[in-house]
Chains A and B, each alone.
Chain A
Amino acid sequence: MSYKKLLKQYTPEELAESFVFPVKLTPKQQKEADRELAEARQKSQAAMTDEQRLYAGLLQLRFQLEDYLKGDQYDPALTFGYFLDRYLQLNHKKKKEFAKEIQIHETLLSHLISNRREPNDSIMIRLELHSNNIIPAIDWYKLAEKEKEYHIRTDNSLREKESPFVTHSLQLTF
Protein backbone atom coordinates (compact mmCIF):
# COMPACT_ATOMS: atom_id res chain seq x y z
CA MET A 1 0.00 0.00 0.00
CA SER A 2 1.41 3.39 -0.94
CA TYR A 3 2.05 6.22 1.50
CA LYS A 4 -0.77 8.28 -0.05
CA LYS A 5 -3.27 5.45 0.39
CA LEU A 6 -2.16 4.93 3.98
CA LEU A 7 -2.63 8.67 4.64
CA LYS A 8 -6.27 8.36 3.56
CA GLN A 9 -6.83 5.37 5.84
CA TYR A 10 -4.86 6.41 8.95
CA THR A 11 -4.20 9.66 10.78
CA PRO A 12 -0.69 11.18 10.52
CA GLU A 13 -0.21 10.38 14.20
CA GLU A 14 -1.07 6.72 13.65
CA LEU A 15 1.39 6.59 10.76
CA ALA A 16 4.20 8.11 12.85
CA GLU A 17 3.51 5.44 15.49
CA SER A 18 3.80 2.70 12.90
CA PHE A 19 6.31 3.73 10.23
CA VAL A 20 9.40 5.46 9.08
CA PHE A 21 8.85 5.68 5.33
CA PRO A 22 11.65 5.66 2.78
CA VAL A 23 12.39 9.17 1.52
CA LYS A 24 14.47 9.66 -1.59
CA LEU A 25 16.51 12.81 -1.92
CA THR A 26 18.51 14.07 -4.87
CA PRO A 27 22.27 14.34 -4.24
CA LYS A 28 21.85 18.10 -3.87
CA GLN A 29 18.98 17.71 -1.37
CA GLN A 30 20.95 15.07 0.52
CA LYS A 31 23.94 17.37 0.82
CA GLU A 32 21.74 20.14 2.14
CA ALA A 33 19.99 17.76 4.57
CA ASP A 34 23.37 16.57 5.88
CA ARG A 35 24.53 20.16 6.34
CA GLU A 36 21.36 21.11 8.24
CA LEU A 37 21.68 18.09 10.51
CA ALA A 38 25.37 18.66 11.20
CA GLU A 39 24.65 22.29 12.12
CA ALA A 40 21.82 21.35 14.49
CA ARG A 41 23.89 18.63 16.13
CA GLN A 42 26.82 20.94 16.64
CA LYS A 43 24.55 23.22 18.68
CA SER A 44 23.16 20.24 20.64
CA GLN A 45 26.65 18.99 21.41
CA ALA A 46 27.76 22.40 22.62
CA ALA A 47 24.74 22.56 24.94
CA MET A 48 25.37 19.18 26.55
CA THR A 49 26.32 19.35 30.21
CA ASP A 50 29.18 17.42 31.82
CA GLU A 51 26.56 15.44 33.73
CA GLN A 52 24.87 14.39 30.46
CA ARG A 53 28.22 13.40 28.96
CA LEU A 54 28.99 11.27 32.01
CA TYR A 55 25.53 9.65 31.84
CA ALA A 56 26.04 8.88 28.14
CA GLY A 57 29.44 7.35 28.92
CA LEU A 58 27.98 5.20 31.69
CA LEU A 59 25.16 3.98 29.44
CA GLN A 60 27.74 3.18 26.76
CA LEU A 61 29.75 1.14 29.26
CA ARG A 62 26.61 -0.64 30.52
CA PHE A 63 25.37 -1.55 27.03
CA GLN A 64 28.82 -2.81 25.98
CA LEU A 65 29.02 -4.87 29.16
CA GLU A 66 25.48 -6.26 28.66
CA ASP A 67 26.17 -7.27 25.07
CA TYR A 68 29.44 -8.94 26.07
CA LEU A 69 27.64 -10.88 28.81
CA LYS A 70 24.88 -11.94 26.38
CA GLY A 71 27.35 -13.31 23.85
CA ASP A 72 28.86 -16.80 23.93
CA GLN A 73 32.43 -15.67 23.29
CA TYR A 74 35.00 -15.15 26.04
CA ASP A 75 37.43 -12.31 25.41
CA PRO A 76 40.48 -12.36 27.71
CA ALA A 77 40.83 -8.59 27.34
CA LEU A 78 37.33 -7.83 28.64
CA THR A 79 37.95 -8.55 32.30
CA PHE A 80 36.39 -7.19 35.48
CA GLY A 81 39.51 -5.04 35.83
CA TYR A 82 39.16 -3.67 32.32
CA PHE A 83 35.56 -2.53 32.83
CA LEU A 84 36.34 -1.20 36.31
CA ASP A 85 39.24 0.84 34.94
CA ARG A 86 36.96 2.28 32.25
CA TYR A 87 34.43 3.17 34.95
CA LEU A 88 37.12 5.13 36.81
CA GLN A 89 38.22 6.89 33.64
CA LEU A 90 34.64 7.93 32.83
CA ASN A 91 34.35 9.45 36.28
CA HIS A 92 37.76 11.14 35.97
CA LYS A 93 38.75 9.56 39.27
CA LYS A 94 42.21 8.72 40.55
CA LYS A 95 42.45 5.32 42.25
CA LYS A 96 43.03 6.88 45.64
CA GLU A 97 39.96 9.11 45.37
CA PHE A 98 37.70 6.35 44.06
CA ALA A 99 38.88 3.83 46.67
CA LYS A 100 37.93 6.35 49.33
CA GLU A 101 34.49 6.89 47.79
CA ILE A 102 33.62 3.19 48.01
CA GLN A 103 35.59 2.65 51.23
CA ILE A 104 38.06 0.03 50.06
CA HIS A 105 41.83 0.02 50.34
CA GLU A 106 43.63 1.57 47.37
CA THR A 107 45.77 -1.57 47.05
CA LEU A 108 42.67 -3.74 46.75
CA LEU A 109 41.35 -1.43 44.02
CA SER A 110 44.66 -1.71 42.14
CA HIS A 111 44.52 -5.50 42.46
CA LEU A 112 40.94 -5.57 41.15
CA ILE A 113 41.90 -3.43 38.15
CA SER A 114 44.94 -5.60 37.39
CA ASN A 115 42.83 -8.78 37.88
CA ARG A 116 45.05 -10.00 40.72
CA ARG A 117 42.05 -10.22 43.08
CA GLU A 118 38.47 -11.34 42.53
CA PRO A 119 35.69 -8.98 43.61
CA ASN A 120 33.40 -9.96 46.47
CA ASP A 121 29.65 -9.28 46.67
CA SER A 122 30.11 -6.11 48.74
CA ILE A 123 32.33 -4.51 46.12
CA MET A 124 29.84 -5.26 43.35
CA ILE A 125 27.01 -3.76 45.39
CA ARG A 126 29.13 -0.69 46.18
CA LEU A 127 29.87 -0.24 42.46
CA GLU A 128 26.14 -0.36 41.72
CA LEU A 129 25.43 2.22 44.42
CA HIS A 130 28.32 4.44 43.26
CA SER A 131 26.91 4.46 39.70
CA ASN A 132 23.48 5.47 41.04
CA ASN A 133 22.16 2.09 39.81
CA ILE A 134 23.13 2.80 36.19
CA ILE A 135 25.42 -0.25 36.16
CA PRO A 136 23.73 -2.96 38.23
CA ALA A 137 25.67 -5.24 40.59
CA ILE A 138 24.33 -8.26 38.73
CA ASP A 139 26.24 -7.18 35.59
CA TRP A 140 29.50 -6.96 37.58
CA TYR A 141 28.70 -10.36 39.10
CA LYS A 142 28.01 -11.97 35.70
CA LEU A 143 31.25 -10.49 34.36
CA ALA A 144 33.27 -12.04 37.19
CA GLU A 145 31.38 -15.32 36.68
CA LYS A 146 32.11 -15.33 32.95
CA GLU A 147 35.83 -15.15 33.69
CA LYS A 148 35.57 -17.81 36.37
CA GLU A 149 33.60 -20.09 34.04
CA TYR A 150 36.24 -19.75 31.33
CA HIS A 151 39.11 -20.57 33.70
CA ILE A 152 37.29 -23.55 35.26
CA ARG A 153 36.63 -24.92 31.80
CA THR A 154 40.11 -24.42 30.37
CA ASP A 155 42.65 -24.49 33.24
CA ASN A 156 44.57 -27.69 32.53
CA SER A 157 47.49 -26.82 34.81
CA LEU A 158 45.06 -26.65 37.74
CA ARG A 159 43.72 -30.05 36.75
CA GLU A 160 47.25 -31.45 36.79
CA LYS A 161 47.98 -29.79 40.11
CA GLU A 162 44.81 -31.15 41.73
CA SER A 163 45.14 -34.60 40.28
CA PRO A 164 47.39 -36.05 43.07
CA PHE A 165 44.69 -35.15 45.62
CA VAL A 166 42.14 -37.42 44.00
CA THR A 167 43.18 -40.85 45.18
CA HIS A 168 40.30 -42.73 43.65
CA SER A 169 38.12 -41.88 40.68
CA LEU A 170 35.09 -43.64 39.29
CA GLN A 171 36.05 -46.20 36.69
CA LEU A 172 33.11 -46.05 34.36
CA THR A 173 33.17 -46.98 30.72
CA PHE A 174 30.23 -46.97 28.33
Chain B
Amino acid sequence: MIITEVSGKKAILVIVQRVETPDFKGITKKQFFFRWDQLKDEADIYKLTFTDSPAILGLVGLIDIPAEYRIEIKLLAVSKENMGSGKRYEGIAGCLIAYTAREALKKYGGLAAVSLKPKTEIRQHYINKYGMKPAGQQVYLDGQELFDLINTYEI
Protein backbone atom coordinates (compact mmCIF):
# COMPACT_ATOMS: atom_id res chain seq x y z
CA MET B 1 0.00 0.00 0.00
CA ILE B 2 1.41 3.40 -0.88
CA ILE B 3 0.92 7.07 -0.01
CA THR B 4 2.65 9.96 -1.73
CA GLU B 5 4.87 12.59 -0.18
CA VAL B 6 3.34 15.84 -1.43
CA SER B 7 6.61 17.81 -1.75
CA GLY B 8 8.75 15.29 -3.63
CA LYS B 9 5.95 13.14 -5.12
CA LYS B 10 7.78 10.17 -3.63
CA ALA B 11 5.78 6.96 -3.11
CA ILE B 12 6.04 5.59 0.41
CA LEU B 13 5.06 2.14 1.65
CA VAL B 14 2.56 2.03 4.50
CA ILE B 15 0.72 -0.67 6.44
CA VAL B 16 -2.63 -0.92 8.18
CA GLN B 17 -2.90 -2.75 11.49
CA ARG B 18 -5.45 -3.12 14.22
CA VAL B 19 -5.25 -0.52 17.01
CA GLU B 20 -4.31 -2.21 20.28
CA THR B 21 -5.31 -0.91 23.72
CA PRO B 22 -1.90 0.72 24.48
CA ASP B 23 -2.14 2.69 21.20
CA PHE B 24 -5.07 4.74 22.54
CA LYS B 25 -2.71 6.60 24.88
CA GLY B 26 -1.09 8.28 21.89
CA ILE B 27 -4.32 8.91 19.96
CA THR B 28 -5.44 12.36 21.01
CA LYS B 29 -8.52 14.31 20.00
CA LYS B 30 -6.21 17.21 19.14
CA GLN B 31 -4.44 15.18 16.48
CA PHE B 32 -7.25 12.87 15.34
CA PHE B 33 -10.34 15.06 15.95
CA PHE B 34 -12.46 12.46 17.78
CA ARG B 35 -12.43 10.45 21.01
CA TRP B 36 -11.39 7.21 19.32
CA ASP B 37 -11.27 5.30 22.59
CA GLN B 38 -15.03 5.78 22.91
CA LEU B 39 -15.56 3.92 19.64
CA LYS B 40 -13.63 0.77 20.54
CA ASP B 41 -16.65 -1.17 21.86
CA GLU B 42 -18.71 -0.36 18.79
CA ALA B 43 -16.19 -0.68 15.97
CA ASP B 44 -12.90 -2.34 14.99
CA ILE B 45 -10.31 0.41 14.80
CA TYR B 46 -7.32 0.30 12.45
CA LYS B 47 -4.29 2.57 12.11
CA LEU B 48 -2.17 3.44 9.11
CA THR B 49 1.57 3.77 9.76
CA PHE B 50 4.83 3.70 7.83
CA THR B 51 6.34 0.23 7.59
CA ASP B 52 9.33 1.30 9.70
CA SER B 53 7.82 3.74 12.21
CA PRO B 54 4.98 3.51 14.74
CA ALA B 55 3.75 7.09 14.06
CA ILE B 56 0.05 6.97 13.18
CA LEU B 57 -0.99 8.84 10.02
CA GLY B 58 -4.68 7.96 9.98
CA LEU B 59 -7.40 5.93 11.70
CA VAL B 60 -10.56 4.16 10.60
CA GLY B 61 -13.39 2.60 12.62
CA LEU B 62 -15.18 -0.28 10.91
CA ILE B 63 -18.40 -2.11 11.64
CA ASP B 64 -18.71 -5.55 10.07
CA ILE B 65 -22.24 -6.52 9.08
CA PRO B 66 -22.00 -10.20 8.06
CA ALA B 67 -25.72 -10.57 7.38
CA GLU B 68 -25.36 -8.01 4.57
CA TYR B 69 -21.85 -9.00 3.44
CA ARG B 70 -20.64 -5.46 4.00
CA ILE B 71 -18.37 -3.37 6.17
CA GLU B 72 -19.47 0.11 7.19
CA ILE B 73 -16.93 2.87 7.68
CA LYS B 74 -18.21 4.47 10.85
CA LEU B 75 -15.41 6.98 11.33
CA LEU B 76 -12.21 7.98 9.58
CA ALA B 77 -9.66 10.72 10.20
CA VAL B 78 -6.20 11.51 8.97
CA SER B 79 -3.78 13.15 11.40
CA LYS B 80 -4.09 16.92 11.70
CA GLU B 81 -0.83 17.63 9.87
CA ASN B 82 -2.03 15.59 6.90
CA MET B 83 -5.22 17.43 6.06
CA GLY B 84 -5.92 20.39 3.83
CA SER B 85 -3.58 22.25 1.49
CA GLY B 86 -0.58 22.03 3.85
CA LYS B 87 -0.62 18.27 4.19
CA ARG B 88 2.60 16.28 4.03
CA TYR B 89 1.25 13.03 2.63
CA GLU B 90 -1.46 12.35 0.07
CA GLY B 91 -3.63 9.23 -0.02
CA ILE B 92 -4.00 8.34 3.66
CA ALA B 93 -7.81 8.25 3.63
CA GLY B 94 -7.76 6.45 0.27
CA CYS B 95 -5.48 3.74 1.68
CA LEU B 96 -7.74 3.27 4.70
CA ILE B 97 -10.82 2.96 2.48
CA ALA B 98 -8.94 0.59 0.14
CA TYR B 99 -7.91 -1.49 3.15
CA THR B 100 -11.58 -1.69 4.13
CA ALA B 101 -12.34 -2.86 0.59
CA ARG B 102 -9.67 -5.56 0.98
CA GLU B 103 -11.16 -6.78 4.25
CA ALA B 104 -14.66 -6.88 2.75
CA LEU B 105 -13.43 -8.82 -0.29
CA LYS B 106 -11.46 -11.20 1.91
CA LYS B 107 -14.58 -12.01 3.94
CA TYR B 108 -17.33 -11.86 1.36
CA GLY B 109 -15.78 -12.31 -2.11
CA GLY B 110 -18.12 -11.29 -4.91
CA LEU B 111 -20.87 -10.26 -2.47
CA ALA B 112 -18.63 -7.75 -0.66
CA ALA B 113 -19.53 -4.10 -0.16
CA VAL B 114 -18.19 -1.11 1.77
CA SER B 115 -20.56 1.65 2.80
CA LEU B 116 -20.61 4.93 4.69
CA LYS B 117 -23.10 7.58 5.65
CA PRO B 118 -21.79 10.87 4.28
CA LYS B 119 -22.39 14.40 5.45
CA THR B 120 -24.50 16.09 2.77
CA GLU B 121 -21.93 18.75 1.80
CA ILE B 122 -19.16 16.26 1.06
CA ARG B 123 -21.17 13.34 -0.28
CA GLN B 124 -20.40 14.05 -3.94
CA HIS B 125 -16.66 14.10 -3.23
CA TYR B 126 -16.70 10.50 -1.98
CA ILE B 127 -18.33 9.62 -5.27
CA ASN B 128 -15.80 11.61 -7.33
CA LYS B 129 -12.68 10.68 -5.40
CA TYR B 130 -13.27 7.01 -4.52
CA GLY B 131 -15.80 5.90 -7.11
CA MET B 132 -18.52 5.39 -4.50
CA LYS B 133 -22.06 4.85 -5.73
CA PRO B 134 -25.09 6.67 -4.36
CA ALA B 135 -27.73 4.70 -2.44
CA GLY B 136 -30.14 7.19 -0.86
CA GLN B 137 -28.62 8.43 2.38
CA GLN B 138 -25.55 6.23 2.03
CA VAL B 139 -22.80 5.74 -0.52
CA TYR B 140 -21.12 2.41 -1.21
CA LEU B 141 -18.55 0.46 -3.15
CA ASP B 142 -18.88 -3.00 -4.60
CA GLY B 143 -17.79 -5.00 -7.66
CA GLN B 144 -15.61 -3.10 -10.12
CA GLU B 145 -15.31 -0.02 -7.89
CA LEU B 146 -13.89 -2.16 -5.08
CA PHE B 147 -11.35 -3.66 -7.49
CA ASP B 148 -10.40 -0.23 -8.85
CA LEU B 149 -9.72 1.17 -5.39
CA ILE B 150 -7.62 -1.84 -4.41
CA ASN B 151 -5.58 -1.50 -7.59
CA THR B 152 -5.20 2.29 -7.23
CA TYR B 153 -3.69 1.99 -3.78
CA GLU B 154 -1.68 -1.14 -4.66
CA ILE B 155 -3.16 -3.35 -1.99
Residues of A bordering B, CB below 8 Å: 1, 3, 7, 9-10, 12-23, 25, 29, 32-33, 35-41, 44-45, 47-48, 52-53, 55-57, 59-60, 63-64, 67
Please name all residues of chain B whose beta carbon is closer than 8 Å to the beta carbon of A9 when the two chains form the complex. Answer: 84
| Residue contact A18 to B147, C-beta cutoff 8 Å | no
User: Across the interface, which residues of B come within 8 angstroms of A48, CB to CB?
Assistant: 110, 143
Q: Report which B residues bind A (CB closer than 8 A).
A: 33-34, 60, 68, 70, 73-78, 82-85, 92-94, 102, 105-113, 115-119, 121-122, 124-126, 129, 133-138, 140, 142-144, 146-147, 150
Determine if A33 and B76 form an interchain contact, defined as CB atoms under 8 angstroms apart: no
Q: Is the CB of A33 within 8 A of B122?
A: no
Q: List 16 A-B contacts (CB under 8 A).
A: A12-B121, A12-B124, A13-B129, A17-B93, A18-B82, A19-B77, A20-B118, A21-B118, A25-B137, A36-B136, A37-B140, A44-B133, A52-B110, A56-B147, A57-B109, A60-B107
- A60 in contact with B77 given A16-B129, A36-B136 (CB within 8 Å): no
- Residues on A with C-beta less than 8 A from B106 are 59-60, 63-64, 67
Are A17 and B135 in contact, CB atoms less than 8 angstroms apart?
no
Shortest Cβ distance from B100 into A: residue: A20
User: Within 8 Å CB of A25, what residues of B?
Assistant: 117, 137
Output the nearest chain A residue to B92 by Cβ-Cβ distance: A18
Beyond A10-B84, A35-B136, 14 additional contacts (C-beta under 8 Å) are A10-B83, A14-B84, A18-B78, A18-B84, A19-B77, A19-B83, A20-B76, A20-B93, A20-B116, A25-B117, A40-B140, A41-B70, A55-B147, A59-B147
Cβ–Cβ contact B147 & A20, under 8 A: no
Task: Find out whether the CB atom of A33 lies under 8 angstroms from the CB atom of B138.
Answer: yes
Alpha-carbon distance between A45 and B110 when the two chains are bound, in angstroms = 8
A13 and B83 CA atoms in complex are apart in Å by 11
**Closest residue of A by beta carbon distance from B105:** A59
List, in ascending order, chain B residues with CB within 8 A of A10's CB: 83-84
Given known A20-B75, A20-B76, A33-B138, contact A56–B143 (CB-CB < 8 A): yes
10 tightest Cβ-Cβ pairs between the two chains A and B: A36-B136, A16-B125, A40-B135, A63-B106, A20-B76, A56-B110, A18-B83, A23-B117, A60-B109, A33-B137
In contact, A32 and B140 (Cβ under 8 angstroms): no
> Which A residues are CB-close (under 8 A) to B74?
20, 22
- With a cutoff of 8 Å between Cβ atoms, the chain B residues found around residue A29 in the complex are 137
Assess the B119–A3 pair: CB atoms within 8 A: yes
> Are B140 and A23 closer than 8 Å at their CB atoms?
no
The CA-CA distance from A40 to B133 in the complex, in Å, is 9
